[in-house]
Amino acid sequence: VVGQAPAGMSGDGALQLAAEDLHEALQDPLLGALGFLNEVMARYPDAISFAPGAPNPALLDELDVAAQLDRCVAHFARSRGLSARAARRMLFEYAPSRGLINDLLAEALRRDEGIDVPSDAIVVTVGAQEAMLLVVRALCRAPDDMLAVVSPCFVGIAGAARLLDVPVIAIDEGEHGVEVAAVEAACRRARAGGKRIRALYVAPDFSNPSGTVLGLDARRRLLELARREHLVLIEDCTYGFTAAPDAELPSLKALDATGHVVMLGTFAKLCLPGARVGFVVADQVVADGGGTRRLLADELATLKSVVTVNTSPIGQAVVGGMLLEAGCSLAALGRMRSRTYRHRLASLLDALDRHLLPGAAAVGVSWNRPAGGFFVRMRLPVPVDAALLERSASQFGVLWAPMSSFHVGGGGHDELRLSCSYLEPAEIEEGVGRLSRFLHATIRREDAHRDAPTGR
C-alpha cells in the first residue's frame, strides 16, 4: 500500500511509511480506543458528554496566573536567598530535571500524611503520566520484568509500558479494588514462567475507571505481599482528594515502612490540568556498589533529562503558588474543590435513581455507588461497543466511555463509565434523561431482537 503524497509533494520517490512499519505501541488497541473516543466527541460537540474525566472548568475561572507566579517567585527568593530578579528568572530559564517546587511538595506530604521524605526524593513531572513512564522505565528491564496493572485501569499506565516494550499483565479487580490473593497468584505464575512481576500499578482511592476504594485492611495486606514478593507498588493518588473528610484512608505510601511504595500524584485533577505538573515520590535507596548514596528519585531525574529535560518552571510556579496559598497542603487545596465533585457525584447518582432505578434491575441495568472520585460504572445487558456509542451520540446526544477501553486483558464488554466531573448539575440532569431514553430504546430493541424468531 502506497501513501498518498501530501499536497505540494511529488509522488516520485516519496518516502513511504506503512502503519505496520511503525512501532508496535501504535497498534495498541487501548490507544486506538482512546483515539476513537476523542474522535466521536469531536464529531458530536453538542452531545452531553459523560466521557471526559477532566476537572470542572468552572473551578478554573478564578485563577490569576500572574498572582500565583508572584507568590511562588517570592517563595523562591525567600527560601533560596535570591534577589527578586534572580528568583523571577527561575521561571524563564532551564531548571533542574528534579524540579523546583520539591520543597513545597515534601512539606505538603509531611503535613497531610506524615510522609517524611527529603525534597530530593521527589521528582516533579509533566503530569502523573510522565511519572508513570519514568518509573516503569527505571524498574523494568525488559523482557523478563513485567508490570502488573489492576484491570480495568487508567489507560496511560498500560500505554506507557507498551511504548517501552514492557510486558503488562492484567489482574482483574474485585468489587473493592485489587484482590491481594489475585496479585499473589499472578506473582507465583510469573515466577513459574521464569518472569518477574517487578511492580504493580494500583490506584487505591476511587480508581479510574471503576471508582473502587481499597480498604485499610487490604492496603496492609497488599504491603505485606509486596514485602514477601519484592514487589514495588506504584501508587496513583490522583483521586484521593475527593474523599469526604471523614472517609479518608491513609495512602499506601503513608503505611509503608519498608520502601515498597513509589507514589505518584498530579495537580491536574486537584486544581489545574493546564499546568501539566505531577510528581513522583521515590525515596528508595539504590545501591551502586561504589558507596555513593543515590535515591531512586535521582535515577528518575536522569531518565527525565532525556524525556522532557525539566517540567516547565512556569507551570511549576503556578501550582506552587496555589499550594502556598493553601498553606502548603495538598489536602487543603483539594478540599477547596472536593465538595463540588461530591456534589456532582451525588447529582449523578440521584438522577440515575430517579430516571433509571424503577425497573433497571429487571432488565439487567445496574451501577455502583462510589462515595468519591469522578466515575460511576454501569453494567448493561447488551454489548457496549463502538457501534453502541455511535448510536448513543447520534440519536440521543449523550456520550460516555465504553469500559472495554480500560481493560488491558480484555473484558468490560457490557459496561460503560460515566464521569460527573466536567458537567454542571443541570447538564447532568439533562444527560441522564437522554441516557435513560437511549437505554430504554436500546434495551427494548435488543430485547425485541432477542425475542424475535431468527433463522438460527
Binders in 201-230 for a second copy, by CB under 8 A: 227, 230
User: Contact at 8 Å (CB) between 186 and 199?
Assistant: no
Give the nearest distance from C-beta 393 to a second copy in angstroms: 19
| Residue 308 interacting with a second copy (CB under 8 A) | yes
Complex with a second copy: residue 72 or 382, whichever CB lies closer: 72
User: Contact at 8 Å (CB) between 324 and 75?
Assistant: yes
| Residue 254 interacting with a second copy (CB under 8 A) | no
Residue 115 to residue 107: CA distance in whole angstroms = 9
User: Contact at 8 Å (CB) between 70 and 93?
Assistant: no
- Helix or strand holding residue 180 (H, E): helix 180-192
Complex with a second copy: residue 10 or 454, whichever CB lies closer: 10
| Residue 315 interacting with a second copy (CB under 8 A) | yes
| Residue 338 interacting with a second copy (CB under 8 A) | no
Complex with a second copy: residue 26 or 216, whichever CB lies closer: 26
Is the bond preceding residue 143 a cis peptide, omega within 30 degrees? yes
| Residue 191 interacting with a second copy (CB under 8 A) | no
User: Contact at 8 Å (CB) between 171 and 149?
Assistant: yes
Contact region for a second copy (CB under 8 A) — 8-16, 174-182, 336-344, 376-384? 8-16
Q: Which of residues 119-138 bind a second copy (CB under 8 A)?
A: 121, 126-127, 129-130, 133, 137-138
- Enter the C-alpha cell of residue 204: 487505591
| Burial degree of 96 (CB within 10 A; 0-12, 13-18, 19+) | middle
Give the nearest distance from C-beta 411 to a second copy in angstroms: 21
Residue 310 to residue 300: CA distance in whole angstroms = 12
Residue 228 to residue 209: CA distance in whole angstroms = 29
CA distances from 196 to 168, 187, 258, 411 (A): 11, 7, 20, 24
- Enter the C-alpha cell of residue 141: 528491564
- Enter the C-alpha cell of residue 120: 530530593
Which of 74, 77, 82, 163: binder of a second copy (CB under 8 A)? Answer: 163
Length, in residues, of the chain: 456
Binding pattern for the stretch 85-114 against a second copy, x by CB under 8 A and - elsewhere? x--xxxxxxxxx------------------
Of 415, 417, 439, nearest in space to 360 by CA: 439
DSSP state, residue 383: -
Binding pattern for the stretch 358-397 against a second copy, x by CB under 8 A and - elsewhere? ----------------------------------------
Which of 175, 194, 306, 358: binder of a second copy (CB under 8 A)? Answer: 306
| Residue 26 interacting with a second copy (CB under 8 A) | yes
Residue 142 to residue 137: CA distance in whole angstroms = 9
| Residue 8 interacting with a second copy (CB under 8 A) | yes
Complex with a second copy: residue 40 or 443, whichever CB lies closer: 40
Give the nearest distance from C-beta 244 to a second copy in angstroms: 26
Give the nearest distance from C-beta 347 to a second copy in angstroms: 21
Region class of 328: left (phi > 0), else alpha (psi between -120 and 50), else beta: left
Which of 105, 108, 117, 384: binder of a second copy (CB under 8 A)? Answer: 117
Give the nearest distance from C-beta 349 to a second copy in angstroms: 25
User: Contact at 8 Å (CB) between 406 and 154?
Assistant: yes
Complex with a second copy: residue 31 or 356, whichever CB lies closer: 31
DSSP state, residue 6: P
Which of 309, 339, 445, 449: binder of a second copy (CB under 8 A)? Answer: 309
User: Contact at 8 Å (CB) between 282 and 297?
Assistant: yes
Q: How many CA atoms lie within 13 A of 373 on its CB side?
A: 26
Which of 177, 265, 313, 397: binder of a second copy (CB under 8 A)? Answer: 313
Q: Do strands 415-419 and 375-379 pair parallel, antiparallel, or not at all (unpaired)?
A: antiparallel
| Residue 302 interacting with a second copy (CB under 8 A) | yes
Which of 66, 192, 362, 387: binder of a second copy (CB under 8 A)? Answer: 66
Which of 7, 192, 448, 452: binder of a second copy (CB under 8 A)? Answer: 7
| Burial degree of 265 (CB within 10 A; 0-12, 13-18, 19+) | buried
| Residue 116 interacting with a second copy (CB under 8 A) | yes
Give the nearest distance from C-beta 443 to a second copy in angstroms: 32
Q: How many CA atoms lie within 13 A of 5 on its CB side?
A: 9
Which of 63, 255, 363, 441: binder of a second copy (CB under 8 A)? Answer: 63
- Distance, CA of 238 to chain centre: 7
| Matching residue, cell 529535560 | 309
Which of 167, 274, 381, 425: binder of a second copy (CB under 8 A)? Answer: 274
Give the nearest distance from C-beta 185 to a second copy in angstroms: 21
Which of 101, 268, 360, 378: binder of a second copy (CB under 8 A)? Answer: 268
| Residue 34 interacting with a second copy (CB under 8 A) | yes
